[in-house]
Amino acid sequence: MNTMDKTGIGAAVPPETGVAGRVAALLARMSLAEKVGQLAQISGADFMPGPKAEELIRKGGAGSVLWLNDTRRFNELQKIAVEESPLGIPLLFALDVIHGYRTIFPAPLAMAASWDPAVAEEAQAVAAKEARAAGIHWTFGPMVDIARDARWGRVVEGAGEDPYLGAAMAAAQVRGFQGTDLADPERVAACAKHFAGYGAADGGRDYDPVYLPEAHLRNVYFPPFQAAVEAGVSTFMSAYMDLNNVPATGNRWLLRDVLREEWGFEGFVVSDALAVGNLVIQGYARDKRDAARRALEAGLNMDMASGAYLENLVDLVQDGTLSMDQLDEMVRPILTLKVRMGLFEHPYTDETRLEKVVALPEHREAARRAAQRSMVLLRNEGGILPLSKDLENVAVIGPLADSMEATEGSWMVFGHEPAAVTVLQGIRAKLPGAKIAYAPGPEIRRDIPSPFDEMHAGTKKPVQTPEAAEEAFRTAVETARGADLVIMVLGENANMAGEFASRGSLDLPGQQEALLKAVSALGKPVALVLLNGRPLSINWAAAHVPAILEAWEPGTEGGHAVADILFGDVNPGGKLPVCFPRSGSHAPLYYARTLTHAPETSPMYRSRYWDSPTTPLYPFGFGLSYTTFAIADLNLSAQQVQVGDTVTVTASVTNTGQVAGDEVVQLYIHQRWGSDSRPMRELKGFERVTLQPGETKTVVFHLGPDELKYWSTQANGWIQEAAAFDVWVGADALATLHAEFEVVG
């Protein structure tokens, strides 16, 4: 097709009028129906009923198209929008590009485990470049929901349990997707989702109601969203669920009072998929018309695919229920983004560009680096890792060892064919001369299939019979018996984390633990590699398997990165962005709880449950290395400061081992008394440093009003108080190096 840019009326308004001027000129010429059209995001996929995309676009009845991933089709639809719709306003093509378009990066939870925002920024810059080359303008990411309940499937899409780390990762991802100029043709507009509180679903059950006091929202769940606003995020997505009995999609307090009035957000808000129409199902709106009115009044600009706006807004304005001003207010930021992105000047995508861009070697290099930096060494008894490259006879065992789907993980873009380097392939490439035997063992499956299963090739196979599973188990044990060393690759399939993927247990699914026990009983050295998108309760492994590497969902280059670490070419330095509970029944579990009248630190009150310890199996911030570090010389610039002043905290970190390595130095604080009880520890600073053997660096943190203030329930606002503060600096949330200071006012 002719991809020469043809410009619509938007471009006829000279750029000299400025963005606001162009938008105002456009608005002035738009009919009511065209305005409503801009507020509608329509499906480009055939699975949705209703009028065909072409018809709607031709009439000016769509501002954006989603669930389509086809450059030629983008151009076809865009041509209709630009040349045949009344005002020629270009479409925004949107898709979920969560951790890579063709080159898949580690899942966001894994990227957070790097504790290196530069990893997330680079990954999303590559994702943006590839997605944009395909014709996608706007991604539904980053997902910045704090998740403290590992049963919730979507924990994999975010940065874990902590607001401080979450805010850093949110901002980095926004910068990666958007760059510094929205007109940059190698970037996409970002979307902070799901506003807000989605990760706190009752029982970890996806979509279930959320009850969060305002202080908890503001202190814990909002910071990554606010960081996204400060980083210039173009759009927000409203969450599905009820927040304190008001659906987030119809929640005026969230969408107007907090987001726009307090934080000054000037972009637009899209609903989650079908969420406006779903306000009826949710028992909130009387019918779709009522849903459309209430969502719009609440400040929801764009209706994702429910049709509620398209079907009702014209009437609602015509009968005076809504005013034209209210409508214009919702349309304006959508047009603004289109103008800012240069879509009026360059609506089309060069259909030859994508394959050149995705072939760039630096994309795979970046993916490998990101995977290396994301992995967390959980156990290494007797220094069994790194393994020798002289090994001649290795068995690689487990259902995920050669699974491209599990290696790339959840949330692939539509139509993506998994093409990852699996762990088996990575090990074979690392030891080209060795005998590498492989046996998957029994397959693992969800008990209840996912609606996404059609998209995961691995799940289309016929179910393994019990006899075949037994045979596979036996073969796996025999294969391991024939080797000098066994690498087990266990965890969760791609469809076991993400949306529609919450679970009640955090155990290794299927017979994986039984297989691990049977293989361990052979008495050979065993290294366990975990591929998964959430914390797992690997209690038996933690006590019996000498080496455990948490590789998460590591992406296209995952297998190479695992082999790089197992065989010592890379020293692992990732840290957990979530704690690992000992059981799914312990969730939600997180380190930043408030103290109680009977802290667990007292022997008398140790047991919160009488049948198991409630401490995490691995704490937040935890991760080992092939070297050792000493963190010392904790120094505070003052013992006493005034409210509003800043305390500078320094500490030294030394590599006390034999090889170069990375340590993530973490700073935690506790306010000892105040208007409200404060968490026993809160992360307020971190830095990942690389050190040669014997090398020492000094890390510097600042504790000023931003770090010391909090939203107080009693004061009903942000306060910074005169109180005593504990400070810990160390290598995880159990850090013991301690100092204190007092704020006086």
Residues that bind ligand BGC (CB under 6 A): 96, 140, 193, 272-273, 499
Phi-psi category of residue 415: left, alpha or beta, with phi > 0 → left and psi -120 to 50 → alpha: left
Q: Strand, coil or helix: what is 490? A: strand
CA distance 480 to 472: 12
The 10 Å CB-count burial string (b at 16+, else e) for 513-526 is bebbebbbeeeebb
Three-class secondary structure of residue 405 per DSSP: helix
Q: How far is the CB of 117 from ligand BGC (least distance, A)?
A: 22
The one catalytic residue among 272, 290, 402, 732: 272
Of 207 and 725, which CB lies nearer to ligand BGC in the complex structure?
A: 207
CA-CA distance, 712 to 717, in Å (whole number)? 6
CB of 53 to ligand BGC, least distance (A): 16
Q: Which amino acid is at 518?
A: A
- Toward ligand BGC, which CB reaches closer, 473 or 500? 500
End-to-end Cα distance, the chain:
70
- The beta strands (E) that lie in 169-277 are given as 191-195, 235-238, 242-243, 246-247, 268-270
Shortest Å, Cβ 47 to ligand BGC = 12
- Is 272 tagged catalytic? yes
CA atoms within 13 A on the CB side of 310: 23
Please choose, from the candidates 321, 238, 322, 249, the residue with its C-alpha nearest in 3D space to the C-alpha of residue 284. 249
Q: What burial letters (b/e) apply to 586-598, b meaning 16+ CB within 10 Å?
A: bbbbbbbeeeeee
Give min distance, CB of 451 to ligand BGC, in A: 10
DSSP letter for 404, please.
H
Torsional class of 612: left (φ above 0), alpha (ψ -120 to 50), beta (otherwise): beta
Tell me how far the alpha carbon of residue 283 is from its chain's centroid: 30
Cα gap 401→479, rounded to integer Å: 14
List phi, psi (to 5°) of 218.
Answer: -70, -35
From the number of C-beta atoms within 10 Å of its C-beta (0-12, 13-18, 19+), residue 439 rates as buried
In degrees, rounded to 5, the angle at the alpha carbon of residue 340 between the alpha carbons of residues 347 and 39 is 75
Nearer to ligand BGC, 140 or 728 (CB): 140
Look up residue 558 and give its two tokens: 């995952």
Q: Taking the complex as a whole, how short is the minimal distance between the CB of residue 198 and ligand BGC, in angstroms?
A: 8
DSSP 3-state assignment of 94?
A: strand
Q: For residue 567, which amino acid is it?
A: F
State the catalytic residues. Answer: 272
